[in-house]
Amino acid sequence: MSAERESVIGVVSTLDALDLSTDAHVHTGFATGRDAVGVVVSAADRAGLTAITFADQAGPDSTWLPAYADSVRRAQRRTEIRLRLAAEVEVVRPDGWLALPADLNHLEVVSVAVSSLPLPAGPAGPREVRAMLVAGELTADQVAEALVSASVHGIGRASRYAPTQLARPLSLLAQAGLDDAVLSQDLIGALAAACRQTGTVVEISEAWRSPSPRVVALLRAAEVVLVPASDARYATEVGQWQYVRRV
């Protein structure tokens, strides 16, 4: 692994085993979390972590990123834990267009999420996707193809600006009532190839229990780098692994 690759990855594991002393995705009270940055760092210290990545959800209207960055930098001066500054951004169009914050200068990492299925008519949430499946407006294969395509295009766009992570990969499938068997090996292969090409790290999300054990195994076999991510909303959830240990 080159020095450049190591600098991009930061907190990642080797291909042989996940480094459970790192947490690649935590939230704070700046966005969807509940606790202050310092409280999260203290919880990480109690959990014996060596590195965490702050990845609060941000978008074009987020004005708090400078204060967020300052808070993380102040916390870094008081701890030996490696703190990385990221933002979770959403893919909003089939071509991978991202709802990016206006200023990315503060960020070390962009964590790409596909929480709604980007369709030509606009993003469809899990309930909408489920209803469209029931009505016959979408097939399971179409959902899988659209979700993987949006993920591939999204990380491609994000990687132009900063090192990238893929947050709670493909979790929309389970939320829409679909089994991961709908994901062909070709689709997973396309996602894996895009991750390798862009240097994207794939998060294994404790909170969302995604990707599935089958997808984790296929991505690992394709030499995609995987990292443990609590996706913690509360400080007490930081670095706490159950699902991650199983996969």
Condensed to tens digits (0 to 9), the pLDDT of residues 5-36 reads 333 334 444 446 789 999 999 999 999 899 99
Rg value, the chain, Cα? 17
* Domains of the chain by residue range: 20-246
pLDDT cut 70: percent of the chain above it: 94
CB neighbours of 34 closer than 8 A, spacing ≥ 6? 233, 234, 235
Rounded to whole angstroms, the Cα distance separating 152 from 146 reads 10
User: Measured between alpha carbons, how far is residue 179 from residues 160, 173, 215, 238 in Å?
Assistant: 32, 7, 11, 28
CATH architecture observed for domain 20-246? Alpha-Beta Barrel (3.20)
Of residues 99 and 105, more confidently modeled = 99
Mean pLDDT over the full length of the chain: 93
Closest CA to 56 of 46, 43, 45, 69: 69
For residues 230 and 23, the answer to whether their CB atoms sit within 8 Å is: yes
| Residue 16, pLDDT score | 60
What is the model's pLDDT at position 88? 98
143 pLDDT more than 70:
yes
The per-residue pLDDT for 144 is: 98
pTM metric for this prediction:
0.90
